[in-house]
Amino acid sequence: MPLDLTPKILDQLLDSLVENGWFEWPNAITDELSQSLLTEVEKYDLEGELQRAGIGRGKTRQIHQGVRQDSIYWLNGKSSAQQTYLKQMAEMQYQLNYALFLGLLEYESHFALYRAGGFYKKHRDSFRGNANRVVTTVLYLNPNWQNDWGGELVIYNEESTKKLAIITPEMGKLVVFMSEQIPHEVLPTKHPRVSVTGWFRCNASIAGNIDPAL
């Protein structure tokens, strides 16, 4: 099940990333794969395998409920759904490197569950002094999302003065944006909201850990 990166969509993705810093791609991932990923994260939730997400990395990592209220599970490539998804992201990585010379070396990603009331205040995805996350992806896994449930992703301009887009977290939609450039937030959700958030990085490290000093 390859990623449906037709020349037309690829052009739109590249143009939009370069010109605007972000791209919204509805139905990027098939319902079948999205559903398998959703079933997997629901299982982890029932088994108590999700962990509270924190802010920052390594020693500076702290749980900060006023900023971020989601529970996560790092992808480890152990299920066939994950493998298919990771292959598709590898294809995207290749295309981004080929066209934009981004030097992306690896992809790290986690499932995220926002329970009712969950949110993530405005932030950028690359950490101060450790700006190795270059491109962010968010895949949404919410069938039949209703417009009055909240939980939208709000994208801001680089100066953080203007809202550029308010994006509903619909099943199979993939949002791609430049990690350092684009401030964004998740509005409070009234309904459980599931996604896979990932980052293409320009150096290698183990998910969730600071890069080892060279």
Please give the structure tokens belonging to residue 20.
């605007």
Q: Does 195 bind ligand OGA (CB under 6 A)?
A: yes
Q: Does 176 bind ligand OGA (CB under 6 A)?
A: no
Partners of 71 in beta bridges: 52, 113
Q: Does 173 bind ligand OGA (CB under 6 A)?
A: no
Query: Do the beta carbons of residue 96 and residue 135 sit within 8 Å?
Result: yes
- Alpha-carbon distance of 194 to 169, in angstroms, equals 8
32-91: which residues touch ligand OGA (CB under 6 A)? none
CB of 204 to ligand OGA, least distance (A): 20
- Choose which of 178, 186, 194, 196 interacts with ligand OGA (CB under 6 A): 186
How far CA 101 is from CA of 6, 14, 96, in Å, comes to 20, 12, 7
- Choose which of 24, 40, 70, 125 interacts with Mn ion (CB under 5 A): 125
Query: Do the beta carbons of residue 152 and residue 169 sit within 8 Å?
Result: yes
* Range in contact with Mn ion (rule: CB under 5 A) among 9-17, 106-114, 121-129, 146-154: 121-129
Amino acid at 80: S
Residues that bind ligand OGA (CB under 6 A): 112, 120, 125, 138, 153, 184, 186, 195, 197
